[in-house]
Structure 1
Amino acid sequence: MDRTGAWFGCRDRHMRWMGAGLLVGLASLSSASCSPTASEIPEDAVVIGALLPFTGSESAVGRNLEQAMLLAVDDLNAAGGLDGRPFGIRSRDSHSSERRGFEQLLDLLYVDQVAYFVGPEENELAREIVRDVKELDVFQMQPGYAAPTIARSETRGGRMRLAPTSLDVGCALARLAVQEDVETVNSLAARDDYNATVSSAFSTQFALLGGRTLPSVTFTSGEQTYTKKIESTFAAHAERTLLAAYPATASTIVTEWTVSGRPGTWFLGPALRTDVLLANIPTGSLDGYFGVSPSLSLRSECDVTGVAEEKVDCATGNAAAFIDHFSRRWDGEPPLPAAHFYYDGVVLIAMGLVYAQATRGAVPLSGNELQKIVHELNRPDNEAASWRDMEAAMAKLRAGIPLRYVGAAAEYEFDEYGANIHHFMQRWTVEGGAFVDLSPVSVACNTDA
């Protein structure tokens, strides 16, 4: 694939976007992958690219997410790969930075020339690269919580989203508030796309469910202090306040809130379910507060009762099995919840390629074509294939049998645009400085708002 002309057009756009004082120069184009596993990729491998935060403010998650992808490759290759060709992961470092990460993302697309890639975690980066995904007609799998919403069909490029949308999150939080008999809510939310949208969805859905929303407050991440923002937020005297932010900023806010006497009561957004947050706030300061994050229970593991689907009981056997599988591979280290989706993202790509090879005689050269194949495989009426028996799944795909994927995080079914359909969010609380899972919450809300 010759991408030289497209690369220069993209580089010109990148230069204007970054500003002259922030250019890193053409020398970076020869930079190697940040991943220590890059040199281990076999020469004939089917390469899947990845942009992950190995350094910077989000560095705590990068290696864990890559480990999930490498585990998927191990399992796929043990099951025969793509007609004997192994799969491999080429990772680059986003540096947890919009500007530096975009440079690495360009290198994945125009230097490494990957045809399929996973990520990025950063919402702004994912939005910035949409144009290039279309122009190059590559395939992008988006497992991250903050990935942009996919709400339109495209004729070039293929994008698929695995984690719940901000509407799902807002709906679950609103239903949680109603279950807790809360009458008024507001938010303290970062101005980035993801957290702002979660805050808006929460307020909208809560109002549709009969609650009353009070004035909310927004802030820009990276400020030296948030004391005045905290004061303004709790001056509204809402019964619950949603903290919609990323962990680094949220830890500062929670610390300052604690010092100010802990006014009000929090709801916690999905990005805050991380030990990094708990390690950087006063001990016990968030004990007793509730939050939601993507449910890792399969839909078939859940029972829903009540007229308004207000009671959800789910088993966790599938997620527990994956945690054990991951921990055995990585010396006892458990996977982050997001890692389940990253594992599945790699497997979904591989399943599409294996099935296409079997039924069409060649792997798709178009990202748009691969998206359609993955979508078709995951129709509800197709036979199910579990991550637990990859060998059997790959054998059936090579025989041309379409299979829907029952993964480490979900039983996948995609809407017309390529977004995975979710039915539940996991409810949790903080006790003794640790996260404790509670019963899930349905996301059966009004989507026409």
Structure 2
Amino acid sequence: LAVDDINAAGGVLDQPVELFPGDSGDTTTDTANTTVDRHLANGTQVIVGAASSSVSLKVIDKIVSAGVVQFSPANTSDQFVCYADRGLYFRTAPTDVLQAQALAQLIAEDGAQRVSILALNDPYGTGLAENTVTNLVDAGIPEDQIQKIIYDPNAQSFNAEVDQVANFAPDAVALIGFEESAKIITRMHEVGIGPSDGMAVFGVDGNMGNALGENVAEGLLDGMAGTTPLTDTGEEFQQRLLGVDPGLIDFNYAGESYDAVIVSALAAEQAGSTAGVDIAANINSVTRDGEKCTSYQQCLDLLRAGEDIDYDGATGELTFVDAGEPGVGSYGRLVFGPDNTLTTEDYIVVGE
């Protein structure tokens, strides 16, 4: 969609933008490296991805060493804040330092006084878990009333970890994981501490999607709440996305993906160059301290008139900080219903 909008406005430096799709895979495969090799061979100057923070950490050095921009719409690990990325790594998703604040706020507002945290053992899971503990303590929950369990996401069984949670007898559980969350939720129900059993269970962006609902028995997720980076992109934007891909089942990170492409194109226009290092040098500046604009066409017209711009896109205000990421995080407060489908109740904004 973003490439279509850019090319409809005349492209970048009067040339059309080319899109080369690629799969980033996961940490159990070498798919991401293969995809990156292919992109670099094609002369790509901006690689949008990966979705997983752990996958990005496997390829970031290769990408930035080639002088190419890596721009993730979904990486949230705080490891990237100070990463030695040569100024070539960016993301439209806010850091988990901010998501931890939103998650802790959600848990504390629910009245929890004794909390178990189950988190997968990777940079995303451990970082988000640690930051969530810090924010729960700041919210007034004593540290000895918080249990943190780190698990292997590739394990065949999560019975031991879930049994530890049951023995701790929490009044709320935060589950920080990906597709393995389905197995964990199923086991939680078997021992009577699942969402549908009355336990307050909270998820995060890694599992708060309708895909989770498709992988557990109907009704097991009823009442499970959580956070994911999300802004109110509006019905019109969602309908435009469905026009490109009618098979979409949710819109998580859709706005972030769109904005990553638009920001990259605007940075190239401002730089007068499509070289990765030149694009990178202009990315932060097109998101702040200039004339507000909300579409590629509008921003392009301002740039060509010699104006400084401040692009506010599908995800709203970006205002990148020096680390190349948003300084404010907007999160959807999501809840699963009895049919295992998600609704967005409202939004939590942190970091303002």
Please, which runs of 5 or more residues in structure 1 have no aligned partner? 1-70, 298-317, 358-362
AA aligned opposite 1:257: M
AA aligned opposite 1:132: K
Of residues 230, 237, 250, the one that matches 1:322 is 237
SS of aligned partner of 1:251: helix
Classify 1:414/1:327 alpha carbon distance in 2 versus 1 (closer, same or farther; 3 Å).
same
Task: State the shift of 1:97 in Å.
Answer: 4.4
Of residues 149, 154, 158, the one that matches 1:217 is 149
AA aligned opposite 2:191: S
SS of aligned partner of 1:91: coil
Classify 1:325/1:269 alpha carbon distance in 2 versus 1 (closer, same or farther; 3 Å).
same
AA aligned opposite 1:325: R
2:315 corresponds to which residue?
A: 409
* Correspondence 1:125 to 2:55: yes
Of residues 324, 327, 352, the one that matches 1:418 is 324
Classify 1:444/1:422 alpha carbon distance in 2 versus 1 (closer, same or farther; 3 Å).
closer
1:365 corresponds to which residue?
A: 275
**How far apart, CA to CA, are the structure 1 residues paired with 2:56 and 2:266?**
23
Structure 1 contact 121–147 (Cα < 8 Å) conserved: no
1:256 corresponds to which residue?
A: 187
Classify 1:329/1:131 alpha carbon distance in 2 versus 1 (closer, same or farther; 3 Å).
closer
SS of aligned partner of 1:439: strand
Classify 1:176/1:215 alpha carbon distance in 2 versus 1 (closer, same or farther; 3 Å).
same
- For 1:156-305, what aligned pairs fall within 5 Å after superposition? 156-213=86-143, 214-246=146-178, 248-262=179-193, 264-297=199-232
Q: Which moved more, 1:218-227 or 1:141-150?
A: 141-150
Percent identity between the aligned chains?
21
Structure 2 contact 210–250 (Cα < 8 Å) conserved: no
SS of aligned partner of 2:19: strand
Root-mean-square deviation (Å): 2.2
1:17 corresponds to which residue?
A: none
Using structure 2 for the length normalisation, give the TM-score. Answer: 0.90
Structure 1 contact 123–148 (Cα < 8 Å) conserved: no
2:341 corresponds to which residue?
A: 434
Q: Deviations 1:68-89 (Å, cap 9, x if unpaired)?
A: xxx1111110101123210011
Using structure 1 for the length normalisation, give the TM-score. Answer: 0.72
SS of aligned partner of 1:235: helix
- Tell me how many residue pairs correspond in the alignment: 345
Task: State the shift of 1:243 in Å.
Answer: 0.6
Classify 1:334/1:340 alpha carbon distance in 2 versus 1 (closer, same or farther; 3 Å).
farther
Task: State the shift of 1:142 in Å.
Answer: 1.3
SS of aligned partner of 1:322: helix
Q: Deviations 1:348-391 (Å, cap 9, x if unpaired)?
A: 1001111222xxxxx05352x42231211221x3111113xx33
Q: Deviations 1:249-305 (Å, cap 9, x if unpaired)?
A: 0011111221222364311122112111001112111211211111313xxxxxxxx
Classify 1:332/1:383 alpha carbon distance in 2 versus 1 (closer, same or farther; 3 Å).
farther
SS of aligned partner of 1:276: helix
Task: State the shift of 1:438 in Å.
Answer: 1.7
Structure 2 contact 175–203 (Cα < 8 Å) conserved: yes
Task: State the shift of 1:209 in Å.
Answer: 1.8
- For 1:305-344, what aligned pairs fall within 5 Å after superposition? 318-331=233-246, 333=248, 336-344=251-259
Task: State the shift of 1:94 in Å.
Answer: 2.7
Task: State the shift of 1:192 in Å.
Answer: 1.3
**How far apart, CA to CA, are the structure 1 residues paired with 2:343 and 2:276?**
43
Q: Deviations 1:406-444 (Å, cap 9, x if unpaired)?
A: 211232111111111224322121112221212322424
Classify 1:262/1:282 alpha carbon distance in 2 versus 1 (closer, same or farther; 3 Å).
farther
Structure 2 contact 221–336 (Cα < 8 Å) conserved: yes
**How far apart, CA to CA, are the structure 2 residues paired with 1:420 and 1:159?**
13
**How far apart, CA to CA, are the structure 2 residues paired with 1:152 and 1:356?**
25
Classify 1:397/1:147 alpha carbon distance in 2 versus 1 (closer, same or farther; 3 Å).
farther
* Correspondence 1:352 to 2:267: yes
**How far apart, CA to CA, are the structure 1 residues paired with 2:117 and 2:246?**
40
Q: Deviations 1:29-62 (Å, cap 9, x if unpaired)?
A: xxxxxxxxxxxxxxxxxxxxxxxxxxxxxxxxxx
- Max radius of gyration: which structure? 1
Classify 1:366/1:145 alpha carbon distance in 2 versus 1 (closer, same or farther; 3 Å).
closer
AA aligned opposite 1:425: Y
